[in-house]
Amino acid sequence: MDIDAPTAVGTVYPWHCDHMGHMNVMHYVGRFDEATWQLFHRLGLTPAWLREHQRGMAAVEQHLRYQRELLPGDVFEIRSRVLAASAKSIRFAHEMRRAGEETLVATCEITGVHLDTQARRAVAFDESIAARIAAAIPSETHAGPGPKS
Protein backbone atom coordinates (compact mmCIF):
# COMPACT_ATOMS: atom_id res chain seq x y z
CA MET A 1 0.00 0.00 0.00
CA ASP A 2 1.33 3.45 -0.89
CA ILE A 3 1.43 5.06 2.54
CA ASP A 4 2.65 8.37 1.12
CA ALA A 5 -0.34 8.93 -1.14
CA PRO A 6 -3.20 11.04 0.24
CA THR A 7 -6.48 9.22 0.76
CA ALA A 8 -8.49 12.41 0.19
CA VAL A 9 -7.89 15.92 -1.09
CA GLY A 10 -10.24 18.85 -1.35
CA THR A 11 -11.00 22.53 -1.28
CA VAL A 12 -13.17 24.39 1.21
CA TYR A 13 -15.99 26.29 -0.50
CA PRO A 14 -18.07 29.00 1.19
CA TRP A 15 -21.10 26.67 1.36
CA HIS A 16 -19.01 24.24 3.47
CA CYS A 17 -18.77 26.88 6.20
CA ASP A 18 -20.97 27.64 9.16
CA HIS A 19 -21.97 30.98 10.70
CA MET A 20 -18.50 31.19 12.31
CA GLY A 21 -16.89 31.35 8.86
CA HIS A 22 -14.98 28.06 8.96
CA MET A 23 -15.67 24.58 7.61
CA ASN A 24 -18.58 22.99 9.46
CA VAL A 25 -18.05 19.71 11.33
CA MET A 26 -20.34 17.81 8.94
CA HIS A 27 -17.84 18.41 6.14
CA TYR A 28 -14.87 17.23 8.19
CA VAL A 29 -16.75 14.01 8.93
CA GLY A 30 -17.68 13.59 5.27
CA ARG A 31 -14.09 14.06 4.12
CA PHE A 32 -12.82 11.57 6.71
CA ASP A 33 -15.44 9.11 5.46
CA GLU A 34 -14.15 9.54 1.88
CA ALA A 35 -10.61 8.87 3.12
CA THR A 36 -11.84 5.74 4.92
CA TRP A 37 -13.21 4.22 1.73
CA GLN A 38 -10.00 5.05 -0.16
CA LEU A 39 -8.01 3.32 2.59
CA PHE A 40 -10.32 0.29 2.49
CA HIS A 41 -9.96 0.15 -1.29
CA ARG A 42 -6.18 0.02 -0.95
CA LEU A 43 -6.57 -2.85 1.52
CA GLY A 44 -8.69 -4.83 -0.96
CA LEU A 45 -12.06 -3.98 0.59
CA THR A 46 -13.37 -2.60 -2.69
CA PRO A 47 -17.09 -2.10 -3.31
CA ALA A 48 -17.04 -4.98 -5.82
CA TRP A 49 -15.28 -7.32 -3.35
CA LEU A 50 -17.69 -6.40 -0.54
CA ARG A 51 -20.74 -7.00 -2.75
CA GLU A 52 -19.40 -10.26 -4.19
CA HIS A 53 -18.62 -11.68 -0.74
CA GLN A 54 -21.71 -10.21 0.98
CA ARG A 55 -19.51 -8.27 3.37
CA GLY A 56 -19.57 -4.78 4.79
CA MET A 57 -17.77 -2.50 7.20
CA ALA A 58 -19.30 -0.59 10.09
CA ALA A 59 -17.73 2.08 12.27
CA VAL A 60 -18.23 1.27 15.94
CA GLU A 61 -16.09 4.03 17.45
CA GLN A 62 -14.85 7.38 16.14
CA HIS A 63 -12.77 10.11 17.79
CA LEU A 64 -12.33 13.50 16.13
CA ARG A 65 -9.99 16.28 17.16
CA TYR A 66 -10.29 19.72 15.61
CA GLN A 67 -7.02 21.61 15.96
CA ARG A 68 -7.12 24.40 13.36
CA GLU A 69 -9.87 26.01 11.33
CA LEU A 70 -10.23 25.54 7.60
CA LEU A 71 -11.48 28.62 5.79
CA PRO A 72 -13.03 29.19 2.36
CA GLY A 73 -10.40 28.64 -0.31
CA ASP A 74 -8.18 26.40 1.84
CA VAL A 75 -6.90 23.30 0.05
CA PHE A 76 -6.37 20.26 2.25
CA GLU A 77 -5.26 16.67 2.13
CA ILE A 78 -5.86 13.64 4.32
CA ARG A 79 -3.37 10.85 4.87
CA SER A 80 -4.40 7.62 6.54
CA ARG A 81 -2.73 4.71 8.27
CA VAL A 82 -3.71 1.44 9.86
CA LEU A 83 -2.97 1.36 13.59
CA ALA A 84 -4.05 -2.14 14.65
CA ALA A 85 -6.35 -4.99 13.74
CA SER A 86 -7.89 -8.16 15.06
CA ALA A 87 -9.55 -11.02 13.20
CA LYS A 88 -12.79 -9.01 12.79
CA SER A 89 -11.86 -5.35 13.31
CA ILE A 90 -9.48 -2.65 12.21
CA ARG A 91 -8.38 0.58 13.90
CA PHE A 92 -7.04 3.37 11.69
CA ALA A 93 -6.29 7.08 11.77
CA HIS A 94 -6.66 10.00 9.40
CA GLU A 95 -4.67 13.24 9.56
CA MET A 96 -5.96 16.34 7.77
CA ARG A 97 -3.55 19.16 6.88
CA ARG A 98 -3.67 22.24 4.70
CA ALA A 99 -1.98 21.21 1.46
CA GLY A 100 1.75 21.81 1.65
CA GLU A 101 1.77 22.39 5.40
CA GLU A 102 2.81 20.16 8.29
CA THR A 103 0.42 21.58 10.90
CA LEU A 104 -2.48 19.29 11.69
CA VAL A 105 -5.94 20.69 11.07
CA ALA A 106 -7.91 17.71 12.36
CA THR A 107 -7.47 14.04 13.19
CA CYS A 108 -9.90 11.15 13.21
CA GLU A 109 -9.39 7.70 14.69
CA ILE A 110 -11.92 5.01 13.81
CA THR A 111 -12.53 1.42 14.77
CA GLY A 112 -14.40 -0.56 12.14
CA VAL A 113 -15.87 -4.04 12.21
CA HIS A 114 -16.03 -6.45 9.27
CA LEU A 115 -19.58 -7.76 8.76
CA ASP A 116 -21.44 -10.55 7.05
CA THR A 117 -24.24 -8.47 5.52
CA GLN A 118 -26.65 -11.42 5.34
CA ALA A 119 -26.16 -12.73 8.89
CA ARG A 120 -25.77 -9.16 10.24
CA ARG A 121 -22.86 -10.14 12.48
CA ALA A 122 -19.12 -9.54 12.72
CA VAL A 123 -16.94 -12.06 10.87
CA ALA A 124 -13.22 -12.57 10.35
CA PHE A 125 -11.51 -10.86 7.45
CA ASP A 126 -10.77 -13.03 4.45
CA GLU A 127 -7.19 -14.35 4.63
CA SER A 128 -6.00 -12.22 1.70
CA ILE A 129 -7.53 -9.05 3.18
CA ALA A 130 -6.11 -9.85 6.64
CA ALA A 131 -2.64 -10.19 5.09
CA ARG A 132 -2.93 -6.79 3.39
CA ILE A 133 -4.10 -5.19 6.63
CA ALA A 134 -1.24 -6.78 8.57
CA ALA A 135 1.26 -5.57 5.98
CA ALA A 136 -0.06 -2.01 6.36
CA ILE A 137 0.52 -1.86 10.12
CA PRO A 138 3.86 -0.27 10.99
CA SER A 139 6.13 -2.93 12.50
CA GLU A 140 6.66 -1.01 15.76
CA THR A 141 2.89 -1.15 16.45
CA HIS A 142 2.12 -4.45 14.77
CA ALA A 143 -0.94 -6.18 16.11
CA GLY A 144 -2.14 -7.86 12.94
CA PRO A 145 -5.26 -9.90 12.38
CA GLY A 146 -5.15 -13.14 14.28
CA PRO A 147 -7.39 -16.00 15.24
CA LYS A 148 -9.09 -14.25 18.18
CA SER A 149 -11.92 -11.76 17.87
Domain boundaries, the chain: 8-138
Phi and psi based region of residue 99 (left: phi greater than 0; alpha: psi -120 to 50; beta: remaining): beta
- pTM, whole model, 2 decimals? 0.89
CB 98 within 8 A of CB 67: no
d(CA 140, CA 28): 29
Q: Render pLDDT for 95-137 as a digit per residue (tens, 0 to 9).
A: 999 999 988 999 999 999 999 999 999 999 999 999 999 999 9
- Superfamily classification of domain 8-138: Hotdog Thioesterase (3.10.129.10)
Strand partners of residue 122: 115
